[in-house]
Amino acid sequence: MAAGAAASQPEQAARRMHLVLYGRAWCHLCEEMQAALAPLVEAAGARLDIVDVDADPGLVARYDELVPVLVCEGVELCHYRLDEPRVRAALGLGA
């Protein structure tokens, strides 16, 4: 396998990473987490979806007082504040 191909495998894995940020439109903690998360998502080439919990009663029941909640590939990484080391690890980014 060529060195260039081997080097791109971690990047390809990170690009497939899918994050979901559950929050609210009027939540300052949600805005702060989204802003802090943006450079990490860009660096990893990951996909980020932002979901307003107030649009779905089931999500309100699940995440109401915990927002913002960041989930990566179905695993909750953090809520209230960004846990940058944990998010970096999940995205395959170095410290």
Indicate which CATH number applies to the domain containing 81. Answer: 3.40.30.10
User: What's the domain range around 25?
Assistant: 3-91
Q: Across residues 47-58, what is the average pLDDT?
A: 97
Confidence bin at 28 (pLDDT 50/70/90)? very high
- Please state the pTM of the whole predicted model: 0.82
| Selection from 58, 60, 59, 78 nearest residue 68 by Cα | 78
Share of the chain above pLDDT 90, in %: 80
The confidence score (pLDDT) of residue 55 equals 96
**45: which residues sit within 8 A by CB, 6+ positions away?**
11, 14, 15
Domains: count for the chain: 1
Separation CA 76–CA 42 (nearest Å): 20
The confidence score (pLDDT) of residue 12 equals 52
